[in-house]
Structure 1
């Protein structure tokens, strides 16, 4: 099965692009969403996160995301420890999901493909980009966040220029109708490459 990675910085519109691919019948796996679900569902992950962060890691039986975010923000080494707990479970879940798919290719969305040097897990990689001002505007609206906070997140992420260099395809997502056309074009190109 051909696995296409889809990545992009915060506010680039990855979810919108994924919906475009889904609408033409491409199975989509969203790694972040699955990680969050597993962090709530898996007893093993729950136990390990409580060992790592303390009893405040969960509140009223569900993951206490603001608390975890504050812990990670104050100590970056904790992030890699948390990822070491969660990522293997997500990878195993993805393998099981992949076996159930019946399509020419699937898309796995992961925000930090390049940051974690995971390029070798994908046959092709699509990076979604958008103008920075538009990305900031989208995240402020979506997360009720401040401009400063969004800018600091963007600054901490790998630049679009770096991602583009390492990608097989790039979608400029400033305009939805234009982005949809790019999705169809890339879909056809991927199918052509697969069928060769």
Structure 2
């Protein structure tokens, strides 16, 4: 099997409250290399001067306070302004993808890991699925997801539903998934499912047909 970047690459995505970050933390505990796209984006938005200039052009000088990203201001704007949200994504996504592809190249060259996991909320929306060998969609029963987010973020049911409605329809994500990971049970059940996937990817990554 030939991998797209010389190393097996797997995306992990899912809607709010699905537990995709928990899945990635378990992969990490098992020894997998995990790239968190959200952390990478925050880092680039703070430290990449070229990207900072583009963000200031979209949001004005209020986007940064003392050189630091004004997260609350930007979050408030994009929550109510779809145009600004799309403009932000149009400059941030390419920068993040470029950084991840560079990391793939390094990992393939160093051969330090057998496969790499990328956690990202917008894998399909950004077209990044085309750069990955497999995409796992983590999902759960809607009521379970609502309850998780309400407890985690101390917010109302209506706020959670609003955030859910602003995301890609989960049914569409499920259709696009290579692997669907249902996360309705407890942490041990989830850990066992991730262990199975880890073992599966480990075997695929060691395929003798890799070029």
Identify whether the pair has TM-score above 0.5, normalized to the shorter chain: yes
RMSD after superposition:
1.7
Which of 183, 190, 193 matches 2:201? 190
Query: Can you give the 5+ residue segments of structure 2 that lack an aligned partner in the other structure?
Result: 1-6
Mapping of residues 64-103 of structure 1, within 5 Å: 64-101=70-107, 102-103=112-113
Partner of 2:8 in structure 1? 2
Structure-2 change in CA distance of 1:118 and 1:98 (3 Å)? closer
Tell me, yes or no, if structure 1 residue 137 matches structure 2 residue 147: yes
Partner of 1:34 in structure 2? 40
Distance 2:172 2:80 in 1: 27
| Native 8 Å contact 2:138 2:183 kept in 1 | yes
| Native 8 Å contact 2:15 2:167 kept in 1 | yes
State the secondary structure of the residue aligned to 2:155. Answer: coil
State the secondary structure of the residue aligned to 2:91. Answer: helix
Structure-2 change in CA distance of 1:62 and 1:141 (3 Å)? farther
Q: CA deviation at 1:38?
A: 1.1
Q: CA deviation at 1:34?
A: 0.7
Mapping of residues 31-180 of structure 1, within 5 Å: 31-101=37-107, 102-174=112-184, 175-180=186-191
| Native 8 Å contact 1:169 1:186 kept in 2 | no
State the secondary structure of the residue aligned to 1:183. Answer: helix
Which of 33-42 and 54-63 deviates more? 54-63
Question: What are the superposed Cα offsets for residues 40-86 of structure 1, whole Å, 9 maximum, x if unpaired?
Answer: 11222222211110111112431112211222233212222212221
Distance 2:93 2:202 in 1: 29
| Native 8 Å contact 2:97 2:128 kept in 1 | no
Query: Can you give the 5+ residue segments of structure 1 that lack an aligned partner in the other structure?
Result: none
